[in-house]
Structure 1
Amino acid sequence: MSSKSMMLAAALIAVCLLAGCRGGGSGSILDPEDVRKGTKGLEMDFIERNPPDEIYEDSTFSLGIELENQGAADITQGILKVGIDRTFMEWDQAPSQVSSVRLEGKTVTRPSGEQDFLNFRLYARPLPPNIETHTTQITVTSCYDYKTIAAFDVCIDTDIYGQGLFEKACEVEDLTSSGQGGPVAVTRAEPTMLPHEKEDRIMPQFRITVANKGGGRSFRKDLVKEMCTGATIDIKGFNTAEVNAYLSEEALECRPHYVNLEERDAEVVCALTEGIPVEFGSYKTPLTVTIDYGYTDSMSKQVEIKDVR
């Protein structure tokens, strides 16, 4: 290949990369900063007219459910449970009322996250002789594992008494966010530079606010199966999430390690207990907060069963 041809090929490859060329895809590309935005996770909806608003007794009908992972984490242990009033309905062809869910989250090349469609067959029992119509409810509950990662650029300033020991490269300030691609989010991080037990060091501390921004409830991440199968769960497993934090690559000591989100938000205090040398001055560095949790949400629809008499 001539040098001119090689230059042309390189230019075409560069254009393709900038334009987001992907085999078999739509070509849409999401800005990396937008991947971890928002407060959604697994979203559910009934497929139109599945089930219908009205059905007849002694007949089968379809229940269709659309699932989409609209957050930034992958769902690897999801469960979907369908609840019906067995006095008036039953499963057709003996299917399971529980289905497993595994959906990848949104990425730079998949802005909407992975989707799935589930279909169930149900049977409407004959109504009692003295009843012409009855309204019953179908409830769908999701339980799944999830992870939120919040990343901030924070200012570290070792001149905690303002003695002018060095030129300031940044200012210590509170940080806020509306969401990081999951229903549980870090909404605020308040940094404080504290004295250390060693005089030549300071201790960065961060007061972090974690909030449940979704419409469901969080629970301990290892209880996905129990949450959707009616197993007995210790009350401490509800409305909780595990929080870890890192300053650059150094793990911080966080208390409490599990936050209680029963009131929708909670605070955790994380500190670099080993400290930072005063001689480091002021500089910016990444603060990363990870939240591991399970999440459950539900939706329901009323269906009217009519007699055929």
Structure 2
Amino acid sequence: MKKSVFVCIVLLVIFITGCTGVPQGERPQDTAAALKAVQTGTQGIVTSVLANSPPALIYDTSDLVALVEVRNKGNFDLDQQSCFVQITGFDPNIIRGGFDVPRSCAENVGMIQGKNVYNTEGDFNQIEFHSPSVQLPDDEFEYNPTLNFVTCYQYHTKASPQVCVDPLFYQVTSKQKSCIPKPATVGGGQGAPVGVSFVGVNMVGGKAVFEINVQNFGTGIVLSPYAGIQNCGQASLDYTDFDRVGYDVRLSGGTLIDCKPHDKIVRLNNGQGKIVCSYTIPGTSSFETPLQIDLDYGYTDSIQQPIKIVKTPQ
């Protein structure tokens, strides 16, 4: 009897062990793959309109409801004041009741987290826009607006490419060096719509000069980090609010000499801009060190959906 009980216990332990999955992060290769997925990509906030919300055709006496799904597919978390969705493109005298009021992307949830090693897809939220009062003028029988769903948000991009610096670049043969200064490997984005596309390094004596190219990888428009985003769908921005990216660059293995542009704002032209930073490099041998780049900006994107409003039969 005791032997039978012992055998049953052993079989039960084997069964439970076999059914237990490996916790996330237990296998180094899984953690590395998840980390790569988090640190790459060219998307930030992505919005979509749920099927039949709004419907393609409604009567003018019906309520108009639009359900918008907001997904944070980048790796930067957004709170309630960092992202807004607004609907434009319609006559507020016909579609009334605050249908055009900006709504926080994190409404009712407090925060939309970006992707991380525990959730490589990022968080999402659904926002309901409601107009209880749709009314066509007496002499109009049909209205065909294209609703424009505008998303405006603040975002950050962090990149830390490994760079090689050599204070005695022209004085020591390559066979005596642990590394050779060359362009750093960047590509595939850094988990955000704006990112670093190129990092070059030139050694001038004991000074390292870094050329950092910044690019808009997304489908939207880059905004200044100081632009007001809450009502940006209603032309509250001027030309100085567009194509501006704030930056901060740090090199742990060197002392900063200078960074340009001096006002810490990169102006993008055709979606691209450049930062040039110089550092004094100590020592007498080459070594690798991370170049820490932080980009700060706003971003706006939009999607459109046509609808038809017809007069209610009398």
| TM-score grouping bracket, smaller chain normalisation | 0.7 to 0.9
Could you say which residue in structure 2 is the equivalent of 1:90? 96
Q: In 2, Cα distance between the equivalents of 1:57 and 1:234?
A: 36
Could you say which residue in structure 2 is the equivalent of 1:206? 210
Could you say which residue in structure 1 is the equivalent of 2:42? 39
Question: What stretches of structure 2 of length at least 5 have no aligned partner?
Answer: 1-15, 106-110
Indicate how the Cα distance of structure 1 residues 240 and 217 shifts in structure 2: closer, same or farther if over 3 A, else same.
same
How many angstroms does 1:302 deviate by?
0.8
TM-score, L = length of structure 1: 0.82
Picking from 223, 228, 245, the partner of 1:224 is 228
Picking from 178, 184, 195, the partner of 2:188 is 178
Could you say which residue in structure 2 is the equivalent of 1:240? 244
Q: In 1, Cα distance between the equivalents of 2:230 and 2:134?
A: 30
1:158 aligns with 2:167: yes
Q: In 2, Cα distance between the equivalents of 1:165 and 1:42?
A: 46
Indicate how the Cα distance of structure 1 residues 185 and 17 shifts in structure 2: closer, same or farther if over 3 A, else same.
farther
Q: In 1, Cα distance between the equivalents of 2:221 and 2:21?
A: 41
Q: In 2, Cα distance between the equivalents of 1:18 and 1:172?
A: 41
Picking from 277, 280, 285, the partner of 2:282 is 277
How many angstroms does 1:294 deviate by?
1.1
Q: In 2, Cα distance between the equivalents of 1:301 and 1:125?
A: 17
Could you say which residue in structure 2 is the equivalent of 1:51? 54
Mean Cα deviation higher: 54-63 or 250-259: 250-259
If each structure's strand is expressed as a fraction of its own residues, which one has the higher value? 1
How many angstroms does 1:96 deviate by?
7.0
Picking from 293, 296, 299, the partner of 1:295 is 299
1:259 aligns with 2:263: no
| Secondary structure of 1:31 counterpart | helix
In the TM superposition, 1:133-172 aligns within 5 A as 133-164=142-173, 167-172=176-181
Q: In 1, Cα distance between the equivalents of 2:233 and 2:142?
A: 31
TM-score, L = length of structure 2: 0.80
Indicate how the Cα distance of structure 1 residues 251 and 35 shifts in structure 2: closer, same or farther if over 3 A, else same.
farther
Count of residue pairs the alignment pairs up: 281
Could you say which residue in structure 2 is the equivalent of 1:187? 197
How many angstroms does 1:48 deviate by?
0.7
Over the matched positions of the two proteins, sequence identity in percent amounts to: 26
